[in-house]
Structure 1
Amino acid sequence: MGVVMITWERRAEALNAVARLRALPERPPVVVIDNGSWDGTAAAIRALFPEVDVVALGENRGGAGRNVGVRRLRTPYVAFCDDDTWWEPGSLSAAADVLDAYPKIGVVNARIVVEPGGADDPIVPELRDSPVSRPDWMPGPALGSFLAGASVVRRSAFLEVGGFSTRLWLGGEEELLATDLVSAGWEICYLEDIVVHHAASVARDAGLRRRVGLRNTLWFTWLRRPVPAALRRTAFLARSVPRDRTSALGAWDALRGVPWLVRQRRPRPEPVEARLAVLDAPQRASTARRYVG
């Protein structure tokens, strides 16, 4: 098991996250992808943790920076970590055991515990009660997507489908990768006993994240969903998102990508669409992920 952590302009938090990773009993090799920070993050990590592989990118590639880390590792499994999350000791070993035992699982999604306080993240009930049909052999609920900062991937499956899209940057970038994994025959599994802790950083641009998240949802919808489903999802978003400048910019960004969408559109296979379409209603009702921040 190796770990890939992405960071940007959060030196103190990144150092804390790396220290937690180095203290894990599994002692995984760690690759840190610094997405073009100007605050000395890369140099500070190299100085304090010379055994960590630090890659200082010249630009902020968002979630796609993880692709660089996955390619640098040679471990069969890769855990992702953000600079404001950390893995509970023993969870990486448990995830590796599951991936060893179930060769058709491509991604394991952990339970997310919010810190300080230790309560489950609001998304956890949706993961636990996923309506996606699962094979009898799977050790936990089947998912249609996952949360990158709380996941372990099978490296071969990740590379097979191309990793994270370089176009989506950061914010809901997992959904496109997830549907491509399921379309390729891989399963995504939620496991309650594998745990990630999340102390959300205050160093974030909530407006930008909402803008990009809305754009990415529209892009995914039109890249992989059949036309009727894409129209329904688009209409729901038009009705439900705030009527403000951030939403308008997100919609404009999505429209500017139409030429790319037309070239890259590949609706997921009918059996996959039928299996994952059951997520539409829970997504509409979800209180955990809305574009209102």
Structure 2
Amino acid sequence: MTVEQAALADANRARLSVVVLTYTRADQVLDTLARLAALPDRIDIVAVDNASTDGTADRIARNFPFVKLVVAPRNLGAAGRNLGVAHVKTEYVAFCDDDTWWSPGALTRAVEVLDAAPRVAVLNACVVVGEHGAADETCERMRDSPLPRDGLPGPALIGFMAGACVFRTEVFRQAGGYEPRLFIGGEETLVSLDVLGAGHEIVYMDELVLHHHPSPLRDSAQRRRLLARNAAWVAWMRLPLAEALRATYDAFRLMRAEPWPRSDVMALLKGVAWAVGRRRVIDERVRQMRELVHEDDARREAQTVDRGPVGSTRAT
């Protein structure tokens, strides 16, 4: 290969990969992969099948032979994304689920932003929901983050959305990816705390658009249990004692309000002991960031009470 050919090959090489996670939603993931493949952005695509039971892997292989297909040995939940990242060879990695897809040009723009902002490790996209494309409520809160921008390309955050973000690949790996024991439900929190604790920044970018057409195949009660359980475990791993106790109390309160299966109760209790063994409390910088966000949340909630009920979701 000549120097000119090598330079051309390097110029045409993708700098960003998209990892798509799916589980037993073959029709939806095929639609998502078709949309990603049609993007003008120069990207590699990795599809992770979380041990689906509906022939998803076979259909992906047959319809998209150019997509790197990774089949998990079992359903790993959010940690299935770790398998995808293990096959990524690019500097940056974007994530989406089988019911989300990136807008044309968004991923090219993400590369430009990350190239120009070495302090930033994670970009969170603007998620637009459904046919009408209304901005996700969480993203609206991210847009109004109370944290100082300090020269960042967008509002600073203390968290991100797992299926709507772009990472520096090496930072994701250094953070250890998603903890398999959390499975799914608030799994981003632990990664976020560790990314911030390593001195990196997480930023919201309104111009990076991700479309989300939510699947109806969801178990809301199970998700609430997993969110409460994982919040308690993460708190014991990383947060001050008062927050760990409060998160555990909240989980027990939900347990009483929505009687949990005995297996979930036992998992919560055993997991607390496991989490304590992995305890490494966040530093003062991250603690102050969280306090600013929580104070802003409290102010917003008080205003909501004064005005009357309006939906709200913590975003940052």
TM-score by length of 1: 0.92
The residue number in structure 2 matching 1:128 is 143
Structure 2: segments with no counterpart, 5+ residues: 1-15, 302-310
**Displacement of 1:281 after TM fit?**
4.3
Residues 123 and 165, structure 2, Cα contact 8 Å, conserved in 1: yes
1:159 corresponds to which of 168, 173, 179: 173
Residues 84 and 198, structure 1, Cα contact 8 Å, conserved in 2: yes
The residue number in structure 1 matching 2:81 is 66
The residue number in structure 2 matching 1:222 is 236
Structure 1 residues 184-217: Cα deviation after superposition (integer angstroms, max 9, x where no partner): 0110000111110100001122222221111111
Q: Percent identity?
A: 43
**Displacement of 1:287 after TM fit?**
2.5
Between the aligned partners of 1:59 and 1:111, the Cα distance in structure 2 is 31
Between the aligned partners of 1:240 and 1:40, the Cα distance in structure 2 is 36
Between the aligned partners of 2:173 and 2:297, the Cα distance in structure 1 is 28
Are residues 1:150 and 2:175 paired?
no
Between the aligned partners of 2:79 and 2:196, the Cα distance in structure 1 is 19
**Displacement of 1:271 after TM fit?**
2.2
The residue number in structure 2 matching 1:181 is 195
Computing the radius of gyration over CA atoms, which structure comes out larger, 1 or 2?
Answer: 2
Aligned to 2:182, what secondary structure does the other structure show? coil
2:312 corresponds to which of 279, 287, 293: 287
Structure 1 residues 62-115: Cα deviation after superposition (integer angstroms, max 9, x where no partner): 111111111101100000010000101000001110000011111000011001
Between the aligned partners of 1:139 and 1:267, the Cα distance in structure 2 is 28
Letter matched to residue 128 of structure 1? R
Structure 1: segments with no counterpart, 5+ residues: none
Structure 1 residues 158-207: Cα deviation after superposition (integer angstroms, max 9, x where no partner): 11111111111111100100000000011000011111010000112222
Between the aligned partners of 1:119 and 1:49, the Cα distance in structure 2 is 30
Letter matched to residue 51 of structure 1? F
Between the aligned partners of 1:237 and 1:5, the Cα distance in structure 2 is 31
2:282 corresponds to which of 263, 268, 276: 268
The residue number in structure 2 matching 1:116 is 131
Between the aligned partners of 1:236 and 1:287, the Cα distance in structure 2 is 18
TM-score by length of 2: 0.86
Are residues 1:45 and 2:53 paired?
no
Are residues 1:137 and 2:151 paired?
yes
The residue number in structure 2 matching 1:33 is 48
Aligned to 1:140, what secondary structure does the other structure show? coil
**Displacement of 1:59 after TM fit?**
0.3
The residue number in structure 2 matching 1:258 is 272
**Displacement of 1:283 after TM fit?**
5.6
**Displacement of 1:275 after TM fit?**
2.0
Q: For the aligned residues, what is the CA RMSD?
A: 2.1
Residues 210 and 246, structure 1, Cα contact 8 Å, conserved in 2: no
Residues 120 and 200, structure 2, Cα contact 8 Å, conserved in 1: yes
